[in-house]
Amino acid sequence: MPPIVSKDYKENKKKLILQSALECFAQKGFVATTVSDIGKRSGLSKGSIYNYFDSKEAIYFKLLNATTERNKTDITSNFAKLRSSISKISFLFDIYLKLAPIEAKQTETIVLFYEFTFHCVRSEKLLDFMRERGNFLLNLIKETIEQGKEAGEIDENIDANLYAHKFWMIIDGVSLQSISRHFHYYDVLREMKEMYLEEIRKK
């Protein structure tokens, strides 16, 4: 006899748990969130959570890892559609511009994301995962800049590595600012974007 519930059913429950966990983690942080909390929010019992995930940390990891993967895929597929290097970098800026934290919820998600980063920094096991993700994103820009230089779009004097770091510095800087201060996230980031593109553009 085939399984009593469909694959979809299980998949949806998993998603439900992940979504609930995301909300809990965002609101209270990973440590302060209990498995019961996640259960309550998803309308399940504590025990049921363990039918879908091995541990609280597994949920945390799946959650952030899935987001990362989704982002990677998104970016890769969109990059494929774009021709010029400048437009690719512009596109990346736009992703973060759209995230402008107008609501508390989004701030919470940003906090959650950075907390996960720190969590990884302190975990032997997760450090590699973190590094790999970091390198992927860094190389993405580095290579785009290199291509732009070859294509004559981007100034030859630009240090691809340095400007790749600068890009993420801007994103991190703006994100963090938006947490702790009343901050014109959107305006500042847009301005930073223009400045950045102006700098690298071939004169």
Partner DNA sequence: TATGAATGAGTATTCATTCAT
Partner DNA sequence: AATGAATGAATACTCATTCAT
Rounded CA Rg of the chain: 20
> Is residue 174 close enough to count as binding a second copy by CB under 8 A?
yes
> Is residue 167 close enough to count as binding DNA by CB under 7 A?
no
Cβ-count burial 109-120 (b if 16+ within 10 Å, e if not): bbbbeebbeebb
Q: From residue 61 to residue 100, what is the string marking binding to DNA with x (rule CB under 7 A)? A: ----------------------------------------
> Is residue 171 close enough to count as binding a second copy by CB under 8 A?
yes
Within its chain, how far is the Cα of 84 from the centroid?
A: 24
The correct pick among 11, 19, 45, 134 for binding DNA (CB under 7 A) is 45
Q: Which of 33, 73, 75, 77 is nearest to 55 (CA)?
A: 33
Binding partner of residue 176 among a second copy, DNA, none, CB under 5 to 8 Å per kind? a second copy
Within its chain, how far is the Cα of 130 from the centroid?
A: 12
Extract the tokens encoding 7.
């694959």
Q: Which of 31, 32, 56, 61 is nearest to 46 (CA)?
A: 56
Q: What are phi and psi of 136, to 5 degrees?
A: -55, -50
Extract the tokens encoding 48.
């049921």
> Is residue 44 close enough to count as binding DNA by CB under 7 A?
yes
CB of 172 to a second copy, least distance (A): 4
The correct pick among 78, 87, 90, 107 for binding a second copy (CB under 8 A) is 107
Q: Write out the residues near a second copy by the rule CB under 8 A.
A: 27-29, 31-32, 107, 111, 114-115, 117-118, 121-122, 130-131, 134-135, 138, 161-162, 165-166, 168-174, 176-177, 179-181, 183-184, 187-188, 191-192
Binding residues for DNA (CB under 7 A):
1, 3-5, 10, 13, 32-36, 44-48, 50-52, 54-57
